[in-house]
A and B are shown apart, each in its own frame.
Chain A
Amino acid sequence: MTKYLRKVYQLLFFSFTAAIFSGAIENQGMIDFYNSFHIFPAVSNIAAHGVQPFWPVTLLVLACSLFIGRFYCSFLCPVGFLQDLGSALGKKMKTAATSVKSRRILSLFIIGYCACAVLSESSLWGWFDHFTNFGRIYNNLVRPSFNGLLLPFASILNKTSFQIDELSFIFKFDFFYALALFLALFIGSMYRPRWFCILLCPSGVIFSFLFNNSFFKIIKDGKCPACHKCEKCCPALSINDGAVDRQTCVTCLECIPACPFGTIKGRIAFDLKNEKPDDQKLNAPRRKFIEKTAIAAIGITAAGFSEKLNAFTGATGSKTILPPGAVSAEAFFSKCTACHLCASSCPTKVIIPSFLENGFHGLSKPKLDFSRGYCSYECNLCQTVCPNGAINRHDINIKQMIRIGEVSLDTSPKSNCMPVKEGKDCGACAEHCPTGAVYMKRKGDVFIPELRKKYCIGCGICEHACPISENKPIFVKPVGAQKMVPLFKDAKDKDIPVSKNPQSRNTPEPGVNNKIEEFPF
């Protein structure tokens, strides 16, 4: 029963994850609720922006592990789910899997490193964080594959409101990273179940620490006839002759009902001194060694941080266009861990992972590629979903004034622009411009585009809409720091015909009977 209950939980949470990542859920509250489950992004967000509305959930996830152990890992975590699938296949294929031995030094190193990174506003913890890594797998591997599976049904689905995306693999660094990680998690778990949770996951270290010092224990109580049923059902293979290894146990609670003799029991014991794990009875030299390692980890992080500071000294801003609310490359790259939640949920799919355009600190971080799409004027979903506050959150009317890039237009005689080069009307850039920064002006027989640069927010829709495929006459350049632009109010355009009857130029108000216009024909 517990076994199925756990799978239901895992599936539900995975569906929740997919709904958030696919952009199907746009509700701020639901998204905040989801994000508050993940310890590292949630804490990092609190560190950057203060207390978040769902902070009690974050606290509850932590507190939970004091009473029922690694509940998050076994019942919710999508990376854990992925590994459980791998180990289930391993069991079917009889791969003779064995348990991973926990490595305290490695765990200490990782937790020291990640904690320091979070505190020193460095995003380097993302390389270990399970949520970030899951996001990368989802965005670069799972989502495009899922779309591919639905593609044969496109013509049926497209007549309904359910729209599927094209096969959208981007065969660059992040695809291969995601593929390698997926294979490592899935195939690795066939041989060493839950290896990531036990060896690398920084959240796992925290949960494991809390569980080890918790009130909840899974113990062998009474006679064990060594039927090994508990060992067989354990997804982490952490039971040996009925004894549970608490370093590797993820408290899925499956062993308790699996024991036919009722020997394995979960028990709440408020006496903390009782049953100290073996490995805490360490000898002095070894303890010192661990201390040294932890210090080393802190040192390394500090070094990494200072190196990062160096990297940005004298920086000339981003070489890519960043999501609205990222402020600047410096601010953004120090917070963004590249979980790709913004990229995955972006309705126009303009956000893609970058490569080394901005150096190592910009690796995999989101950028806007206007050849793929444009930043939708009415949308601020990337700000809403960002789990660690790297993209600052704004109301939509504020977001509509944030300049993320700067338009550049060439209508000189050697330009590629349709009306200039071929003398044919086009107007694609101006018709799409949401701010009035690009408009058409009559020049001879045709209308050519003109700029009112100070209203441009760099959404890139002009570049995206321009029919010229190479050397576009209109394109958007990155800016050093994102700033607010004024709103374009009614401009005095003499070249555009305006009604001669001033009375008719009103906003439509249904019910108000103005002067009845005569038919001009």
Chain B
Amino acid sequence: MKISRRDFIKMGIGAGIALTCGNFADALFAEEKKSATADMVAIRNGNAAQMFEAGIKELGGMSRFVKSGQIVVVKPNIGWAKNPADGATTSPDLVAKIIEHAYKAGAKKVYVFDNTCNEWSKCYNLSGIEKASKDAKASVSPANKKESYKKKSAEKAKILKNAEVHELYLEADVIINVPILKHHGGAQMTSTLKNLMGVVWDRKFWHGNGLHECIAEFPLYRKPELNIIDAYSVMLKNGPRGTSASDLALKRMQIIGTDMVAMDTAAAKIMELDPAKIAYLPLAEKLGIGTMAIDKLTINKVTL
């Protein structure tokens, strides 16, 4: 059965109203659902920028997340000195589109950064993100100096009790987390949760003390206000760097939402992985970061 976009939106609004009215008991979520129509939006069959445009509209527009005069941080995955076509870094067009929407919503300043794995200038340059962001008038700041990181602690954490977090991540009003969906040799999958490894200084601590636990615990420091998973071209093996074009699958999808665990659960399914076997997902759910029961959520699906 094919449904048009208009129908979809109508249905979404209908479902939203029904949920808002019917579920008074869940007061916590009720507030969110007044303005929004869905917990999560999944879009397919467009390029990254088009899909974002459609998806954020479906979710109630960027003004739901960014208010006038706010400082916004966009955190893409710029970890590797690779070309956009290699599928190892977030699409630069998508990053530019997000910045554009953030400014339209009234953002005072938009910063873009990532603590890269390869030498930062090569990553920023080759990924095309530096140019795309600068063209969109965002401030691009390399995050390769320890002085930019501040010591923080999280009480609820068992392993990642202390972390040096980038000051922009701590100070910004709004964090927009934009991972690219990829296979990962150690963590199995890189998505919203794993992408936040790029805002801390000492990644070796994570690797050396329990990668899954640290990934699951980091959102205790701060959760991004908005997450966008770039699943246009998905690296299914040899990740997170990739060795050749045959590692990639053209999925042409995107997921936009606020619940990182739910989004990563959906993303794992795109990767053809069992979410329950990606150890950091159940751990994050246990910590209350989000839910893995995506069947119970309203996922608005948009096909362009």
Interface residues of A (CB under 8 A from B): 154-155, 158-161, 163-164, 166, 347-348, 376-379, 418, 424-428, 430-436, 439-440, 447, 465-468, 488-491, 493, 496-501, 504-510, 513-514, 516-517, 519-521
**Among A424, A504, A521, contact of B250 (Cβ-Cβ < 8 Å):** A504
Interface string of B240-259 (1 = CB under 8 A from A): 11011111111111000000
Q: A161-B140, A428-B207, A521-B269 are in contact. Are A499 and B243 (CB under 8 A)?
A: no
**Among A160, A376, A490, A516, contact of B244 (Cβ-Cβ < 8 Å):** A490
Give the residues from 173 to 202 in chain B that come closer than 8 angstroms, CB to CB, to chain A: 183-188
Q: Which residue of A lies closest to B85 (CB)?
A: A508
The reply to whether A432 and B253 form a contact with Cβ atoms under 8 Å apart is no
Taking the complex as formed, is B120 at the interface, i.e. its CB lies under 8 A from any CB of chain A?
yes
Residues of A within 8 A of B204 (CB): 428, 465, 467
The reply to whether A507 and B245 form a contact with Cβ atoms under 8 Å apart is yes
CA distance A489 to B239 in the complex (A): 14
The reply to whether A431 and B185 form a contact with Cβ atoms under 8 Å apart is yes
Residues of B within 8 A of A377 (CB): 81, 118
The reply to whether A431 and B44 form a contact with Cβ atoms under 8 Å apart is no
**Among B141, B146, B185, B233, contact of A159 (Cβ-Cβ < 8 Å):** B141
The reply to whether B244 and A489 form a contact with Cβ atoms under 8 Å apart is yes
The reply to whether B253 and A500 form a contact with Cβ atoms under 8 Å apart is no
The reply to whether A155 and B303 form a contact with Cβ atoms under 8 Å apart is no
Q: Which residue of A lies closest to B48 (CB)?
A: A510
The reply to whether A497 and B279 form a contact with Cβ atoms under 8 Å apart is no
Q: Which residue of A lies closest to B147 (CB)?
A: A154
Residues of A within 8 A of B270 (CB): 519-520
**Among A166, A418, A426, A497, contact of B236 (Cβ-Cβ < 8 Å):** A497
Residue among A164, A500, A521 with max Cβ neighbours from chain B (10 Å): A521
Q: List 9 A-B contacts (CB under 8 A).
A: A159-B168, A376-B118, A425-B188, A430-B186, A440-B186, A506-B249, A507-B233, A508-B250, A517-B44
The reply to whether B142 and A158 form a contact with Cβ atoms under 8 Å apart is yes
Q: Which residue of A lies closest to B183 (CB)?
A: A496
Q: A431-B117, A467-B204 are in contact. Are A447 and B142 (CB under 8 A)?
A: no
CB of B270, distance to nearest CB on chain A (Å): 6
The reply to whether B211 and A424 form a contact with Cβ atoms under 8 Å apart is yes
**Among B85, B143, B186, contact of A425 (Cβ-Cβ < 8 Å):** B186
CA distance A517 to B183 in the complex (A): 18
Taking the complex as formed, is B23 at the interface, i.e. its CB lies under 8 A from any CB of chain A?
no
CA distance A508 to B236 in the complex (A): 13
Q: Which residue of B lies closest to A514 (CB)?
A: B250
Residues of A within 8 A of B237 (CB): 493, 496-498
Residues of A within 8 A of B146 (CB): 166
**Among A160, A161, A440, A521, contact of B185 (Cβ-Cβ < 8 Å):** A440
Residues of B within 8 A of A379 (CB): 119, 122
CA distance A510 to B85 in the complex (A): 10
The reply to whether A434 and B252 form a contact with Cβ atoms under 8 Å apart is no
The reply to whether A500 and B272 form a contact with Cβ atoms under 8 Å apart is yes
Give the residues from 188 to 238 in chain B that come closer than 8 angstroms, CB to CB, to chain A: 188, 203-212, 232-233, 236-238
The reply to whether B47 and A510 form a contact with Cβ atoms under 8 Å apart is yes
Q: Which residue of A lies closest to B40 (CB)?
A: A521
Q: Which residue of A lies closest to B202 (CB)?
A: A467
Interface of A is mostly: loop
CA distance A428 to B197 in the complex (A): 12
Residues of B within 8 A of A465 (CB): 117, 204, 207
CA distance A510 to B252 in the complex (A): 10
Residue among B146, B205, B238, B303 with max Cβ neighbours from chain A (10 Å): B238
Q: Which residue of B lies closest to A424 (CB)?
A: B210
CA distance A430 to B209 in the complex (A): 17
The reply to whether B185 and A439 form a contact with Cβ atoms under 8 Å apart is yes
The reply to whether A164 and B245 form a contact with Cβ atoms under 8 Å apart is no
The reply to whether B122 and A378 form a contact with Cβ atoms under 8 Å apart is yes
**Among B81, B85, B248, B269, contact of A505 (Cβ-Cβ < 8 Å):** B248
The reply to whether A426 and B186 form a contact with Cβ atoms under 8 Å apart is yes
CB of B85, distance to nearest CB on chain A (Å): 7
The reply to whether A507 and B85 form a contact with Cβ atoms under 8 Å apart is yes
Residues of A within 8 A of B154 (CB): none
CA distance A425 to B140 in the complex (A): 32
The reply to whether B44 and A516 form a contact with Cβ atoms under 8 Å apart is yes
CB of B235, distance to nearest CB on chain A (Å): 11
CA distance A501 to B183 in the complex (A): 17
**Among A161, A376, A513, A521, contact of B81 (Cβ-Cβ < 8 Å):** A376
The reply to whether A426 and B211 form a contact with Cβ atoms under 8 Å apart is yes
9 A-B pairs closest in CB distance: A427-B186, A467-B208, A440-B185, A508-B233, A467-B207, A467-B204, A520-B269, A430-B185, A496-B237
CB of B267, distance to nearest CB on chain A (Å): 9
CB of A168, distance to nearest CB on chain B (Å): 13
Taking the complex as formed, is B12 at the interface, i.e. its CB lies under 8 A from any CB of chain A?
no
The reply to whether A507 and B145 form a contact with Cβ atoms under 8 Å apart is no
**Among A425, A439, A466, A520, contact of B187 (Cβ-Cβ < 8 Å):** A425
The reply to whether A433 and B241 form a contact with Cβ atoms under 8 Å apart is yes
The reply to whether A436 and B273 form a contact with Cβ atoms under 8 Å apart is no
Q: A160-B141, A440-B185, A499-B249 are in contact. List 20 more A-B contacts (CB 8 A).
A: A158-B142, A158-B145, A159-B139, A163-B142, A379-B119, A379-B122, A427-B211, A431-B184, A465-B207, A467-B209, A468-B208, A493-B238, A496-B183, A497-B183, A497-B237, A497-B272, A499-B236, A505-B248, A507-B245, A517-B252
CA distance A163 to B119 in the complex (A): 12
Residues of B within 8 A of A164 (CB): 145
Q: A160-B141, A431-B184 are in contact. Are A378 and B251 (CB under 8 A)?
A: no
The reply to whether B207 and A418 form a contact with Cβ atoms under 8 Å apart is yes
The reply to whether B119 and A348 form a contact with Cβ atoms under 8 Å apart is yes
Residues of B within 8 A of A432 (CB): 117, 241
Give the residues from 33 to 92 in chain B that come closer than 8 angstroms, CB to CB, to chain A: 42, 44-45, 47, 81, 85, 87
The reply to whether B249 and A427 form a contact with Cβ atoms under 8 Å apart is no
Residues of A within 8 A of B240 (CB): 431
Residues of A within 8 A of B139 (CB): 159-160
Q: Which residue of B lies closest to A159 (CB)?
A: B141
Q: A376-B122, A418-B208 are in contact. Are A517 and B251 (CB under 8 A)?
A: yes
Taking the complex as formed, is B298 at the interface, i.e. its CB lies under 8 A from any CB of chain A?
no
Residues of B within 8 A of A447 (CB): 185-186, 188
The reply to whether A507 and B147 form a contact with Cβ atoms under 8 Å apart is no
The reply to whether A519 and B301 form a contact with Cβ atoms under 8 Å apart is yes
Q: Which residue of B lies closest to A488 (CB)?
A: B243
CA distance A483 to B45 in the complex (A): 46
The reply to whether B207 and A439 form a contact with Cβ atoms under 8 Å apart is no
CA distance A509 to B141 in the complex (A): 30
CA distance A196 to B42 in the complex (A): 72
Residues of A within 8 A of B183 (CB): 496-497
CA distance A505 to B248 in the complex (A): 6
CA distance A163 to B143 in the complex (A): 9
Taking the complex as formed, is B266 at the interface, i.e. its CB lies under 8 A from any CB of chain A?
yes
The reply to whether A467 and B205 form a contact with Cβ atoms under 8 Å apart is yes
Residues of A within 8 A of B15 (CB): none
The reply to whether A498 and B236 form a contact with Cβ atoms under 8 Å apart is yes
